[in-house]
Amino acid sequence: MNRDSQLDNPITLTIGHDEIIIRRRYEVASITNDFLIALWFLIGSVFFLYPELEDMGTWLFILGSFQLLIRPTIRLAGHIHLKRLPASRWES
């Protein structure tokens, strides 16, 4: 068994007679995060065209900026895996 298959435990979602299988979940999380960042900044930019929506646009920019901080965390989590070791006889 190679290293990639050990680290990539696919997530399977069953919806009726269909299944969605998510592989490489950290990469999927990173792509989803990038998509949401773009969405927040795009909507925030449009909100800045209307004076009554500028405050909401500012909050969307803050949300997008916060998600930019999450981005390296997701990438790092994809490279570092914590694994719980079984209790040894020495711990008894």
More confident position, 52 or 20? 52
**43 lies in a domain?**
yes
**69 lies in a domain?**
yes
**2 lies in a domain?**
no
What was the pLDDT predicted at 71?
86
Banded model confidence at residue 66, pLDDT cuts 50, 70, 90? very high
**CA 78/CA 80 separation, integer angstroms:** 6
**63 lies in a domain?**
yes
The answer to which of 3-7, 16-20, 76-80 has the lowest mean pLDDT is: 3-7
**54 lies in a domain?**
yes
Find, among 78, 89, 87, the residue nearest to 27 by Cα: 78
Banded model confidence at residue 89, pLDDT cuts 50, 70, 90? low
Range of 68's domain? Answer: 25-80
Find, among 60, 70, 62, 58, the residue nearest to 34 by Cα: 70
**76 lies in a domain?**
yes
What was the pLDDT predicted at 91?
58
Number of separate domains in the chain: 1
**61 lies in a domain?**
yes
**66 lies in a domain?**
yes
What was the pLDDT predicted at 16?
82
Mean of per-residue pLDDT scores for the chain: 82
